[in-house]
């Protein structure tokens, strides 16, 4: 048996992210899933880019605020206490709208852990990315 308590506030935020990202997988010594805590101020997006995962399922549990998740079909709003689940191969971009009243805090869970699993998705086939970001990062950093 094994147990661990992680003070998530003691985990340093990752540099060069569009919002505050604390990667908890390593400190918790998780092997089968990835876990990250995010805090996005109004106007900030959560992942590095609009993307999908080839093999990884993702779930976003909103701790506070309201998370917006853009998909090819529509944008979902997920309030505090809500969970948004994403199947592999389903493009999405989680963000906090610029007109939001405050920050959104969430946990992003991905399983299985999968490095280099994220694939950029271009919602505009002409190549004009409205976010101005065409990069992807390691998988489950929720990206």
pLDDT at 129: 47
pLDDT at 47: 86
Q: H/E element holding 93?
A: strand 93-95
Sign of the alpha-carbon torsion through 114, 26, 57, 63: negative
User: 140 in a domain, yes or no?
Assistant: no
Domain count of the fold of the chain: 1
User: 4 in a domain, yes or no?
Assistant: no
User: 77 in a domain, yes or no?
Assistant: yes
d(CA 50, CA 123): 8
Q: Which domain holds residue 65?
A: 18-120
d(CA 143, CA 18): 11
pLDDT at 49: 87
pLDDT at 116: 80
User: 6 in a domain, yes or no?
Assistant: no
Which CATH number fits the domain that encloses residue 30?
2.60.120.10
pLDDT at 87: 97
User: 2 in a domain, yes or no?
Assistant: no
With CA atoms as reference, report the closest residue to 93 among 79, 72, 107. Answer: 72
d(CA 124, CA 72): 10
User: 115 in a domain, yes or no?
Assistant: yes
Neighbouring residues of 113: CB distance < 8 A, sequence distance ≥ 6: 25, 30, 31, 32, 33, 34, 56, 139, 140
pLDDT at 135: 38
User: 31 in a domain, yes or no?
Assistant: yes
pLDDT at 141: 44
pLDDT tens, per residue, the chain with 143 residues: 899 999 999 999 999 999 999 999 999 999 999 999 999 999 999 988 899 999 999 999 999 999 999 999 999 999 999 999 999 999 999 999 999 999 999 999 999 988 788 888 998 877 554 444 443 333 344 44
User: 101 in a domain, yes or no?
Assistant: yes
Beta pairing partners, 35: 109
């Amino acid at each position: 048996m094994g147990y661990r308590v992680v003070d998530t506030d003691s985990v340093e935020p990752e540099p060069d992210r569009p919002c505050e990202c604390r990667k908890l997988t390593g400190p918790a010594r998780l092997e089968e899933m990835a876990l990250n805590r995010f805090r996005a101020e109004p106007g900030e997006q959560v992942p590095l880019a609009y993307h999908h995962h080839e093999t990884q399922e993702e779930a976003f549990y909103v701790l506070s605020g309201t998370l917006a998740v853009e998909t090819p079909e529509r944008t979902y709003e997920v309030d505090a206490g809500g969970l948004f689940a994403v199947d592999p191969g389903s493009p999405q971009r989680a963000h906090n709208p610029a007109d939001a009243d405050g920050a959104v805090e969430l946990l992003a869970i991905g399983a299985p852990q999968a490095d280099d699993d994220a694939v950029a998705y271009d919602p505009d086939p002409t190549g004009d990315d409205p976010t101005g970001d065409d990069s992807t990062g390691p998988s489950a950093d929720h990206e």
